[in-house]
Chains A and B, each alone.
Chain A
Amino acid sequence: MRLPFLAAALALAAASAFGRDFPAMPGEPPTPERAALGRLLFFDPVLSRDGSLSCAHCHRPDRGLADGLARARGFRGAVLQRNTPTLYNAAFKARLMWDRRASSLEEQVLLPLLAEDELNADPRELLAKLAAVPAYRAQFAAVFPGDANAISLANVARSLAAFERTLVSRASRYDRYARGEREALSASERNGLTLFRSLTTRCFECHRLPTFDAPLALSIGVPSGDLGVSAISGLSAQRGFFGVPTLRNVALTAPYMHDGSLATLEDVVAFYREGGGLAQGVPAARLHEFIRPIEMSDAEAADLVAFLRALTDESARPEVPERVPSGLPLLAP
């Protein structure tokens, strides 16, 4: 007799999850062995041409898997074009990089690895260096059994991607609130969440719950000469368009925007309040139509920032290994 009630309760509980569950993670699910190998590679400067840089150089565990710089520093101190994005939840993105040119993690990891102004690896040289390290020989063979050519660029990419797929952030105080734990957010943070979902701000339209990003390219009008997506798509209408970054762990990853031009979350909120690019003289026709001045009190702006700070969850923060198989020195933090 109680079955209908139970079924209804179950249905209700399931229905309430709509929009709060992360999408399925695309690509191969990470095996622990592959992720462990990926972690070693991630921290190992052997990946760079001169043994001076690793992935962790820019994606620092103590900086929200970003680097705290406006624009990244690459090979021999080269100042790169753009701000380093966090790796938290990168695994959920259908397209990666600010200009969205990569469509899988495996594809993406090769871009900084081989870019001349980043790790600048020479593929053949890199594979030879890895093969010369007995620990890597053993691990690649164990992780990719039956692969006669276990130490390959593809397997390096797979391992790094598997590691990145462990960098999941979805246990913030916001997530506890979303599961019904009301007191997980303070009154100010809850008010910030309400503002985030208000039609006065429209933050939620592009930074969609629960990933707080969206598979979209658009322009909010941060002034720069950067062509963004249009350099990839060839469409001049997409000039200054960029992918929508996640806001997960955003409090850890200042400064902000593709060029790191905004130092704090307060600056970001102020930028949007003033009308984004409109206030900087970018014509409305070049901007997403939701970009316009936002009428908001200072107290509301503070609440919005407070909410953004409640999106922090570093439970998947990777441990820095004590040493890496190549024996090269790890970077000073």
Chain B
Amino acid sequence: MTSRIRCASLTLLCGLFTLPALAETIRVRAGESIQRAIEKAPPGSVIEVEAGTYHEALVVDTAGITLRGLVSGAKRPVLDGKGKLNDGVIASGSPFTMSGFAVQHYKGNGVTTQQVDGVTLTDLVIDDTGLYGVYPIQSRNIEITHCSVTRISDAGIYVGESERAVVAYNAVFGNVAGIEIENTNDADVHDNVAYDNTAGILVFVLPGKVLKEAKRNRVHHNWVLHNNTPNFGDPDAIVGQLPYGMGILVMGADDTVVEDNWVRGNHSSGIGVIRLAREESAKDPELEPLADGTRVLFNYAVGNGTKPHPTIEKRYGGGLDFAWDGTGKGNCVSLPDSSLRRGVPLGPCRNASGARRDESAGGRRSAAALPERRTLAAPPSAHHASALDALFVASDAPPPDLSGADAVVHIRAMSYQPKHLRVKRGATVAWVNDDLAVHTVTSGHERTPTFAPLQSPVMTRGQVFRHAFHEAGRFEYLCLPHMDQLPMREATVTVE
């Protein structure tokens, strides 16, 4: 039976295609062309790129290509458009994998995948790449993880007209929109840090798209903090019209779950559930513009709305932690009592904990490689102390590589250990995350991040961040997701 199947396969293979060339691993060295390597790579090949700067716009139309940046400490390959090239990467081959690159200074976009089935983008550092940082469009089975995206004039991570996406463990900051899930079904957006954008996380239905819906998207366990940057997008684009100070906004999407997020310090609105504006929905009668079936559960949304944008002030009579515009069916919200609500009153989610268990066990995540997701047993506001044990779990993983470090700070059980460190000038300090929670090492004073000189990526368990201190001084830092907790802010390195 087996041999018969094999014969059939061979016949099929030879009859339909010329036998594909065997996949290769191709090494690109600094000064060489990555695009040239892509063009000669057979389907399924891995292209390893050494650290260096590559002034290229890449096009990947071959199936199964992996672009692997070889990361060594702070060194990694940089795709640099120098403000002249249009797009960092356009990929249409399925599947497509890319990791370990920096992508910067493109006019149009950082990395786009178009009609790709199987997109894996991880550990990309994207800065100033035009309209979007990462843009899978009409794609499916997508994972975008451990990327950092900043200074993008529309959406840092934008998933458009796609199906089944995991967007997790990313840091998006200084963009107009941090993460935008648009006319997309079954996206799972979790454990991201979105701060200093105009708006943190958007789940939208917009007109003029072939896919007319956004259903069953989940936004959970994210940190959505002080997204108060004035909008610097195209004023004629819908995202360009967003007021500043927006945390999470669900617009026109259906059956969205917004659960267990920290939403703090957004000056206009913490979490909003609204319809697509009439003047927009009128352009597309095939689209259902109301947000139905939204469940807003267990979010720590407090301290938002303190300095609202005039649009929000006018519409809702002030800033807010939560607002519903009164449209759509089957929406509900469960919030801390201290949360400031405006708009039309919205009832609590019935049977919330049971529903929550079901949703958490939903099993749509295809991300086998992702770390186990931490699920707090209760709203984080009340239960941090008791949750600490759950955050730090002994690991069987090999110990992280701490070679070359003169001093090590462990981030463990929601604290920097030691919190205050003294080193000699020229010393290299390594931080290692021992928790299941994600953390950052970010320069800042008290609760105000300044991002220099320390700016780590969002570190997942086992990840190491190194910094060499060449100047004397006192360097204070904090953890972006957890700066509300004293052990995770006002930590220092004193360089003598």
Contact = CB atoms under 8 A, between A and B. Distances in A.
Contact of B237 (A8, A182, A236, A289): A289
Nearest to A283: B236
B112 A199 contact: yes
B345 interface: no
A197 interface: yes
Contacts of A285: 279
A9 B19 CA distance: 9
A180 B90 CA distance: 16
B109 A199 contact: yes
B86 interface: yes
B208 A216 contact: yes
A328 to B, nearest CB: 43
A285 B57 CA distance: 33
A94 to B, nearest CB: 10
30 contacts: A3-B6, A6-B6, A6-B9, A9-B13, A12-B20, A13-B16, A13-B43, A13-B63, A15-B64, A15-B117, A15-B118, A18-B117, A177-B61, A178-B61, A190-B59, A194-B87, A194-B90, A197-B114, A198-B90, A199-B87, A199-B108, A199-B109, A199-B112, A199-B130, A200-B107, A208-B210, A216-B208, A216-B210, A238-B285, A284-B236
Interface string B212-241: 000000000000000000000010111000
Contacts of A215: 210
A16 B93 contact: yes
Which of A13, A18, A235, A236 lies at the interface centre, i.e. has the most chain B CB atoms within 10 A of its CB? A18
Given A195-B86, A199-B86, A3 B114 contact: no
Given A19-B138, A233-B285, A3 B63 contact: no
A19 B116 contact: yes
B116 A6 contact: no
A279 interface: no
Interface in A188-219: 190, 194-195, 197-200, 204-205, 208-209, 214-218
B138 A199 contact: no
Interface string B427-454: 0000000000000000000000000000
Contacts of A208: 138, 210
A182 B61 CA distance: 9
Question: What interface size band does chain B fall in?
Answer: 35 or more
Contact of B236 (A214, A236, A241, A292): A292
B39 interface: yes
Interface in B92-113: 92-95, 107-109, 112
Contacts of A124: none
Interface string B113-130: 011111000000000001
A180 B138 contact: no
Contact of B92 (A2, A19, A284): A19
Interface residues of A, number: 47
B244 interface: no
Task: Report, nearest first, the 4 A-B pairs whose CB atoms are least far apart.
Answer: A19-B115, A16-B63, A237-B282, A199-B109
A215 B12 CA distance: 34
Contacts, number: 125
Given A15-B94, A15-B117, A292-B236, A199 B135 contact: yes
A333 to B, nearest CB: 38
Contacts of A12: 20, 43-44, 63-64
Given A215-B210, A237-B283, A19 B109 contact: no
B238 A182 contact: no
A323 interface: no
Contact of A180 (B62, B112, B115, B137): B62
B382 interface: no
A235 B279 CA distance: 11
A19 B20 CA distance: 20
Contact of B208 (A218, A233, A295): A218
Contacts of B64: 12, 15-16
B96 to A, nearest CB: 10
A182 B114 CA distance: 18
A326 to B, nearest CB: 42
Given A12-B43, A204-B114, A241-B283, A197 B210 contact: no
Contact of B108 (A18, A180, A200, A284): A200
Contacts of A195: 86
A312 to B, nearest CB: 20
Interface string A285-313: 10011001001000000000000000000
Contacts of B94: 15-16, 18-19
B131 interface: yes
B6 A10 contact: no
B468 interface: no
A24 interface: no
A309 B210 CA distance: 26
A7 interface: yes
Given A208-B210, A218-B208, A18 B61 contact: no
A110 B15 CA distance: 43
